């Protein structure tokens, strides 16, 4: 049977992040959100806590933990705010993890220590304006000039919706690009590390977003952007397989974040129901409100079990692709449903940005889209069950 009690080291981490979220993040994050401002002081504080280095070995400046530890931190942060949680998730799962999984020792030693410390952020450039869920339709190209000593990749193209790509502390973006002709009906796609400030690499103006308003999201463009040949990440032509692995892992992290948002909706609704009175009684006494909150708690609980199961499979080296898809599908749906119900419980106040549930409602929808839409998750589950493509 699964032991519902977290081991001591995990519980200590969870409590530490919970306290940070409630004492440091909660009082100030609404202002950042309203101003669409990136919360540099909070990100720096998370760096000092070691959160950006949680799943990485100490030799690279990490904390020597694992992916489950990262998921616990994401859940606790998202119970208060998703903008900060997605900054951590993208910085670790999408920014640093590709280097750790596929980089050479030289690449790891060069870039990982700063990323693990939180002093710098990395980003992952996959999505393109015409691509969306069809990542195999990559149009960004990279041609190799003067292969061998002194060779360079020349990158041209554009990327969309890239988290952490335009902050003052962004150090690199790993981009997928077509590096050769089709083989067996599929493009040769590779991953290439492009440091910030490289000539020809332009960070477009930030998006005006519905939610995640205190996180950083930009489009990127590359015009004869030249980087050294050794900036190839992993084996040439393996970029497609690499990002599939990264997205599988990232879906567990997003599921943990979504679970946090779903639980945050329960937390806020309980507090409000105990304070708010209507028709001479506190609304917690009305069965209609009780049933809403009970359903919300059930959804959050189910989502938590799903992501923890997928994370356990991952850290024990067992197949987890289907379970990651299930976790993201269940948790993102729970977040969306709980945000809707919490807003309903709050009534008119739920429509006001000064209350956290207003932010939760705006932040929830992207969880059914980013890092694989709910439709993509259903396809992955169906394929694993042997249903035809």
- Tell me, yes or no, whether 18 and 107 share the same domain: yes
Average pLDDT over residues 51-64: 96
CATH no. for residue 226? 2.40.110.10
> What are the residue numbers of the active site?
371
pLDDT tens across 227-268, in order? 999 999 999 999 989 998 999 999 999 999 999 999 999 999
Which domain, by its residues, includes 62?
A: 8-121
- Does 156 have pLDDT greater than 50? yes
pLDDT tens across 108-119, in order? 999 999 999 999
Rounded distance, CA 344 to CA 242, Å? Answer: 42
Structural domain ending residue among the three candidates 201, 220, 237: 237
Report the share of the chain in percent with pLDDT over 90.
89
* Nearest alpha carbon to residue 200 among 171, 222, 220: 222
In the chain, how many domains are there? 3
- Tell me, yes or no, whether 317 and 349 share the same domain: yes
Average pLDDT over residues 284-297: 97
- Tell me, yes or no, whether 53 and 81 share the same domain: yes
Rounded distance, CA 238 to CA 114, Å? Answer: 26
- 12 pLDDT band (50/70/90 cuts)? very high
pLDDT mean across residues, the chain: 94
Residue 64 is given by DSSP the state S
Structural domain ending residue among the three candidates 89, 104, 121: 121
Rounded distance, CA 133 to CA 65, Å? Answer: 31
Give backbone dihedrals phi and psi of 235, rounded to 5 degrees, phi first: -80, 140
What pLDDT does 22 receive? Answer: 97
- 38 pLDDT band (50/70/90 cuts)? very high
Q: Do the domain assignments include residue 102?
A: yes
- Tell me, yes or no, whether 281 and 219 share the same domain: no
Q: Do the domain assignments include residue 301?
A: yes
- Tell me, yes or no, whether 116 and 42 share the same domain: yes
Q: Do the domain assignments include residue 318?
A: yes
Q: Do the domain assignments include residue 1?
A: no
Q: Do the domain assignments include residue 198?
A: yes
Residue entry with tokens 């919490």? 342
CATH no. for residue 35? 1.10.540.10
Structural domain ending residue among the three candidates 209, 237, 265: 237
Total number of residues shown for the chain: 389
Q: Do the domain assignments include residue 3?
A: no
* Nearest alpha carbon to residue 362 among 187, 246, 235, 208: 208
- 132 pLDDT band (50/70/90 cuts)? low
- Does 290 have pLDDT greater than 70? yes
Global pTM value: 0.95
- Tell me, yes or no, whether 137 and 164 share the same domain: yes
What pLDDT does 240 receive? Answer: 87
pLDDT tens across 182-202, in order? 777 788 999 999 999 999 999
Q: Do the domain assignments include residue 288?
A: yes
Strand partners, 278: 281
- Tell me, yes or no, whether 252 and 211 share the same domain: no
Q: Do the domain assignments include residue 389?
A: no
CATH no. for residue 267? 1.20.140.10
User: Taking the CA atoms of the chain, what radius of gyration do you get in angstroms?
Assistant: 21
- Tell me, yes or no, whether 256 and 370 share the same domain: yes
- Tell me, yes or no, whether 253 and 361 share the same domain: yes
Average pLDDT over residues 44-72: 97
- Tell me, yes or no, whether 254 and 321 share the same domain: yes
- Tell me, yes or no, whether 181 and 251 share the same domain: no
- Tell me, yes or no, whether 217 and 265 share the same domain: no
């Amino acid at each position: 049977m699964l032991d519902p009690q977290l081991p001591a080291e995990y519980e200590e981490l969870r409590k530490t992040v919970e306290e940070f979220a409630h004492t440091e993040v909660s009082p100030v994050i609404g202002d950042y959100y309203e101003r669409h401002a990136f919360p540099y002081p909070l990100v720096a504080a998370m760096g000092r806590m070691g959160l950006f280095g949680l799943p990485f070995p100490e030799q690279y400046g990490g904390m020597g933990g694992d992916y489950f530890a990262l998921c616990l931190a994401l859940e606790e942060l998202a119970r208060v705010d998703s903008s900060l949680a997605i900054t951590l998730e993208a910085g670790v799962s999408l920014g640093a993890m590709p280097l750790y999984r596929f980089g050479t020792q030289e690449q790891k030693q060069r870039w990982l220590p700063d990323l693990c410390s939180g002093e710098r952020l990395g980003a992952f450039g996959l999505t393109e304006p015409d691509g969306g869920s069809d990542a195999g339709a990559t149009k960004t190209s990279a041609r190799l000039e003067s292969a061998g000593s002194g060779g360079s990749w020349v990158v041209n193209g554009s990327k969309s919706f890239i988290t952490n790509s335009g902050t003052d502390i962004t150090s690199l973006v790993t981009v997928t690009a077509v590096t050769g002709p089709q083989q067996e009906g599929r493009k040769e796609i590779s991953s290439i590390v492009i440091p910030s400030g490289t000539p020809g690499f332009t960070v477009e103006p930030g998006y005006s977003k519905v939610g995640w308003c205190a996180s950083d999201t930009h489009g990127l463009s590359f015009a004869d952007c030249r980087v050294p040949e050794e900036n190839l990440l992993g084996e040439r032509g393996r970029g497609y397989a690499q990002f599939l692995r990264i997205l599988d892992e990232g879906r567990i992290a997003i599921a943990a974040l979504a679970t946090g948002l779903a639980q945050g909706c329960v937390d806020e609704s309980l507090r409000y129901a105990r304070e708010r009175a209507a028709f001479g009684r506190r609304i917690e006494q009305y069965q209609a409100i009780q049933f809403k909150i009970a359903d919300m708690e059930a959804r959050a609980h189910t989502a938590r079990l799903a992501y923890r199961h997928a994370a356990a499979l991952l850290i024990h080296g067992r197949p987890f692709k289907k379970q990651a898809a299930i976790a993201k599908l269940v948790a993102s749906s729970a977040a969306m449903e709980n945000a809707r119900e919490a807003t309903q419980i709050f009534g008119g106040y739920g429509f006001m940005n000064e209350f956290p549930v207003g932010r939760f409602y705006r932040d929830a929808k992207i969880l059914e889209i980013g890092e694989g839409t709910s439709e993509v998750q259903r396809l992955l589950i169906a394929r694993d069950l042997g249903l035809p493509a």
